[in-house]
Structure 1
Amino acid sequence: MPTDATPDPYANPIAFGQRLKILRTRKGMTRAQLGGLVGDKTASWVRAVEEGRLQTPKLQTVLRLAEVLRVRDLAELTGNQSVPVALFTGPGHPRLRAVKDAIDAFPFTTAREAPPIAHIQARLASAWTARHSAKNHREAIGALLPDLIRDAQLAVRQADRAAERRSAQAALSEVYSLSQFFVAYQPDAPLLWRVADRGMIAAQESEDPHTIGVAAWLTAQAHRDSGPDHYDAADAVVEDVLRFLTPLLPNASDEVLAITGALTFEAGYTAARRRETGTAWRHWDKARTMAKRLPDDYYHPVTSFSQAIMGAHAVTVAVELHAGGESVRQATASDATAIPSRPRRARHRIEKARGYQLDGQPDVALDTLARAHEAAPETIKYNGYAKAIVLEETESKIPDRRRRASELAVKLGLLAA
């Protein structure tokens, strides 16, 4: 190994502060940047922790450090190899292998005829419905995806005419979009990026504005969830596609208007992650104006963009800005029952729980997470923020809170029954 190589933070039993410094350096972050992202901590505080002049922070702060540094296993930061905790990656769904095999396969020789595009589109519509209505939505779509992927790939290869090929590419891109919902937060980041890239390529080949918008929405999310180093890439994707879609809005269909609104909110979401308060709320307000142009009962099948979702989006912005009081105010004003999608409703409740936790209301946070679990167990099971709250409260000094947190931790697979 070269003498100037960055050491492995978990190759040897080194102190928490040393690990923190190594991981921060690997991310190219200054102490001031890390402190600000963790929650108004100073550069001197970070330095004191790194140098061992301060004790290891409390669990809530450790989990926030892991979040900012995008640590996949808490042991990378704490050094405890006996209790690995995958915070931001789910456990790996039993159907992941079959979905991965279908994505990775490109059979160029087959005597089988591809189903008609209309047939694939009808199956996609059913799959989206299943995703929104099923409590275990990954299981529902994981069972459908392998055949959908193979058939959509085959339809593209067998398309003869230009118009037919564009329609097939649009269907294939949508299949990849559905696949990204399944693959996200599972232990195969390269697979997620293959799906996102192929979805964008197929969308571009389709030349369909709505399809391009959906692929961009998902690609931006993949960038943003990869950490602060990728926020600029997320913004670039959103801004470029918004420039493409905006001239179409005066005569746009509901679906094009909805995906434009969803992308507009994504820009605000990333701004909130950066703690850019004014920019975040400005994008949210612009997205809300677009939502008001949609029919009252309209609900975008991929992004969930609608009038009903804007309250949930407001909670997300407030939480990402770490505004506890505002998070609670927005959570109180929002109506989870107005969201028809089970997984999206569960995610909204997780965001509300984050707000209550920020505001110093851990009991309400746990109750809200329990309701999220009732709505869609697979959503909370794969959500790092929810797991962080639950793990923190399993160490509460209040027996009843600790008991309820432990019971929920068992349901999420974080603790043994």
Structure 2
Amino acid sequence: MTSDATPDPVVEPVVFGQRMQILRTRRGMSRTVLAGLLGKSPSWVKQVECGRLQMPKLPVILRIAEVLRVGDLADLTGDQSMSVAMFTGPGHPRLPQVRAAIDAFPLASRHPAPSTRHLRARLVRAWQARHSAPNHRDVIGALLPELIQDAQLAVLQADSGRERRTAQGLLAEVYGLSQFFLAYQPDPALLWRAVERGMVAAQESEDPHVIGVAAWLATQAHRDSGHAHFDAADAVNLATLRYLEPFLPDAGTDVLAITGALRFEAGYTAARRGDTGTAWRYWDTARAVAERLSGDYYHPVTSFSRAVMGAHAVTIAVELHSGPESVRQATAADVTAALPSRPRRARHRIEEARGYQLDGQPEAALATLGKAYEAAPETILYNGYARRIVLEESESRNQSQRRRASELAVKIGMLAA
């Protein structure tokens, strides 16, 4: 029986070029856009997809997988011996318990809800633990099941409209904490349930800061879903910035910070699109907000602060695929000591490593990934960019680079010891 359906490259025996075309089309990406992100010409992309050029070498394959957000390298190559998870980390042992807490319906527990003051104190401690832990999913994964249930109970048992709005704000924050646990794990549907429930709870809270945080998290979830979702990321982000604008003249510190964080996210998405001018313009507007904050302020969810703007500059340059500018920004603002969050420091090191890789300095990239591992091993484990660099360099012709990459791959569980 004939069919007009698009073949599934995961299960059907199609060649590399066809797989690349199918995966590109699913992402809603044109050949021109893919070519620009790869540093190639549209005609090169067409020739690969049409089979007139052979499957490229591993470094290019890894770059294609990164741009197309391929979950497993084998989905792109068709070679099951190259089955390597790219942008999805392993399922955490605590994932089933967190999933059960999020999916529980109706809420069967009848024990009295804790006070909103008690819930707030627990959330403060949870965020502090998340930032200080080298393996933050271990820590927050243990806390989340009870936090989710208790925050839901607080909403259900609220005695007044004001108390209910406060409880909704706390519930939204719990769902936000859940998203840090769920990100890059093999259950995207669960992540999206947390995103959407967090947005609903935030809206019910009527709290501008809570609404801003939920939008910040939703923006990231849309953008991480791939090029076809960038418009959705911008829609949520820019609408929330418009909503926050009237509050800014008299805004407290947290509302200012989430506004700055959202402005940067708009620049981040623009950089992923390859729009240099817009990306740096939003970075500038975010920096202007950061300058209104005290030097020791650090937003507990987004990490927004004066110090983080240097790290954000590296991210913009990397997403624009400018190796020299990435390295320049990293050199100009060594902010790792000023970032109190271990996962955030590790992520910044990974961004620096990407910059060194783009600049043709693989040894420096691997050394920087080693520093990221020291800060927070789990962050590398779940980061597709770090995994791509390690995998690529483990195939290097340079014996020293190959050895260092292989040692790091063993540490983070990509290769057997």
Query: Taking structure 2 as the reference length, what is the TM-score of the superposition?
Result: 0.98
4+ long deviations beyond 6 Å? none
Hey, what's the Cα distance between the residues in 1 that align with 2:168 and 2:124?
A: 16
Hey, what's the Cα distance between the residues in 1 that align with 2:28 and 2:194?
A: 27
Find out whether 1:106 has 2:94 as its counterpart: no
Hey, what's the Cα distance between the residues in 1 that align with 2:64 and 2:302?
A: 29
Q: Which stretch shows the higher mean deviation, 23-32 or 282-291?
A: 23-32
Equivalences for residues 257-336 of structure 1 within 5 A:
257-334=256-333, 335-336=335-336
Specify the SS of the correspondent of 2:91: coil
Say whether the 8 Å CA contact 2:267–2:280 is kept in structure 1.
Answer: yes
Cα drift, residue 68 of structure 1: 2.1
| CA RMSD across the alignment | 1.1
Hey, what's the Cα distance between the residues in 2 that align with 1:76 and 1:196?
A: 27
Aligned to 2:348: 348
Specify the SS of the correspondent of 2:81: coil
Hey, what's the Cα distance between the residues in 2 that align with 1:27 and 1:381?
A: 25
Deviation sequence 1:230-266 (CA, Å, 0-9, x none): 1111111111111111111111110000000000000
Aligned to 1:126: 125
Hey, what's the Cα distance between the residues in 2 that align with 1:28 and 1:109?
A: 42
Find out whether 1:406 has 2:402 as its counterpart: no
Specify the SS of the correspondent of 2:367: helix
Cα drift, residue 2 of structure 1: 5.7
Deviation sequence 1:42-67 (CA, Å, 0-9, x none): 11101211222222112222112112
Aligned to 1:196: 195
Hey, what's the Cα distance between the residues in 1 that align with 2:108 and 2:50?
A: 61
Find out whether 1:170 has 2:169 as its counterpart: yes
Cα drift, residue 160 of structure 1: 2.1
Cα drift, residue 109 of structure 1: 4.0
Hey, what's the Cα distance between the residues in 2 that align with 1:91 and 1:382?
A: 7
Hey, what's the Cα distance between the residues in 2 that align with 1:193 and 1:396?
A: 38
Hey, what's the Cα distance between the residues in 1 that align with 2:286 and 2:23?
A: 36
Say whether the 8 Å CA contact 2:28–2:227 is kept in structure 1.
Answer: no
Hey, what's the Cα distance between the residues in 2 that align with 1:109 and 1:358?
A: 53
Q: Which stretch shows the higher mean deviation, 24-33 or 397-406?
A: 24-33
Identity of aligned residues (%): 70
Cα drift, residue 11 of structure 1: 2.4
Hey, what's the Cα distance between the residues in 1 that align with 2:12 and 2:234?
A: 38
Say whether the 8 Å CA contact 2:27–2:226 is kept in structure 1.
Answer: no
Aligned to 2:206: 207
| Amino acid in the other structure paired with 1:389 | I
Deviation sequence 1:261-313 (CA, Å, 0-9, x none): 00000000000001111110010011001001001100000000000100000
Equivalences for residues 226-265 of structure 1 within 5 A:
226-265=225-264
Deviation sequence 1:201-226 (CA, Å, 0-9, x none): 00000000000000000000000000
Cα drift, residue 356 of structure 1: 0.3
Q: Note the residue ranges of structure 1 that are not aligned, 5 or more in a row.
A: none
Specify the SS of the correspondent of 1:82: helix
Query: Taking structure 1 as the reference length, what is the TM-score of the superposition?
Result: 0.98
Hey, what's the Cα distance between the residues in 1 that align with 2:151 and 2:210?
A: 15
Aligned to 2:369: 369
Deviation sequence 1:304-338 (CA, Å, 0-9, x none): 00001000000000000001100000011122111
Say whether the 8 Å CA contact 2:349–2:372 is kept in structure 1.
Answer: yes
